[in-house]
Amino acid sequence: MPAPDDLPAPASPARPGDAFQPARKSAGDPVRTFHPRKAVLGERRADALTRLWPRYGFSVHDPELGLPPTGPDGTLDAEHLFGRRAPLVLEIGSGMGDATAAMAAADPDRDYLAVEVHLPGIAHLLTLVEDAGLTNVRVVHGDALELARTALAPGSLDAVHVFFPDPWPKARHHKRRIISPERVALLRSRLRLGGTLHCATDWEPYAEQMLAVVGADPGLTNPSEGYAPRPAHRPVTRFESRGLADGRPSRDIIATRAA
């Protein structure tokens, strides 16, 4: 028998975030709209992930992290997921989740799918969901566009929120902007008739692009015909507060699915 000192060191236990690989490229849209990042979690967030992920989380693409329940047609069974039938909101890029948690708390009659690729944000939102006792939020790891393309039925959403998406300011990165004609057409197709696409940004050139894309989409109408007055129900998000501190006002674009 080897002496204790000769024994190989035990493998260090996997940390909770290790199971999460950076979100992959989507087969349907090989251009990522996000920065793939591997992140190290602090103790509280690692603990939140271990305890709360099995209850509130699912992955867009990784069966080992849990996939969403699906119905006979292979799309998300939201009634099973939330235990009730309620209008469904898709929040794309929930960031650290503060605005998502605040909106969901103020809007208990709708259910929220918060999709993010950034692990610390996911873990932070899990702590907010637990602290506030929210039952109408599920936290999703992965590419929201892939989720929409592969797992959300046409007409299944009441609203899509895209708050302060990465502005990708360099011209060679504009193709990564999530608000583009093709991506908006996909998101619009997942909205019910009368459902809303709500975008906000503090990056003026992107705001102009958002207005143009929404205005050109054949199935969306923009009742404000330009920027919408800031709705009281949208909390100030983390990114927004940074923009405001730097003197960049926010623009809201709220379009409705008409066809």
Ligand X SMILES: C[S@@+](CC[C@H](N)C(=O)[O-])C[C@H]1O[C@@H](n2cnc3c(N)ncnc32)[C@H](O)[C@@H]1O
H or E element at residue 194 = strand 191-201
Contact between 199 and 253 (Cβ < 8 Å): yes
Q: Which stretches of the chain bind ligand X, using CB under 6 A?
A: 33-34, 92-95, 115-118, 121, 143-145, 163-166, 178, 237-240
Annotated active-site residue 202? The verdict is no
What is the closest distance, in whole angstroms, from the C-beta atom of residue 37 to ligand X in the complex? 8
Q: Which is nearer to ligand X, 68 or 93 (CB)?
A: 93
By beta carbon distance, the residue nearest ligand X is 93
Please give the Cα distance from 57 to 124 (Å, whole number).
12
Q: How many CB atoms lie within 10 A of CB 218?
A: 8
Task: Say how far apart CA 123 and CA 143 lie, in whole Å.
Answer: 16
Identity of the residue, 22 or 221, whose beta carbon is nearer to ligand X in the bound complex: 22
Residues 98, 166, 202, 217: which is the catalytic one? 166
Give 49 or 194: the residue with its C-beta nearer to ligand X: 49
User: Cα–Cα distances in Å, from 178 out to 15, 69, 110, 140, 205?
Assistant: 31, 26, 24, 18, 14
Smallest distance from ligand X to CB 6, Å: 46
When the beta carbons of 195 and 243 are compared against ligand X, the nearer one is 243
Residue 96 in contact with residue 238, Cβ under 8 Å?
yes
Residue entry with tokens 């035990």: 10
Tell me the C-alpha distance between 200 and 237, whole Å: 10
Pairing of strands 88-92, 111-116: parallel
Least distance from C-beta 178 to ligand X, angstroms? 6
**Could you tell me the smallest distance in angstroms from the CB atom of residue 26 to ligand X?**
8
Nearer to ligand X, 78 or 200 (CB): 200
Longest CA–CA span in the chain (Å) reads 80
What number of other Cβ atoms are within 10 A of residue 29's Cβ? Answer: 16
Straight-line distance from the first to the last Cα atom of the chain, in angstroms, rounded to the nearest whole number: 75
Catalytic center residues? 166
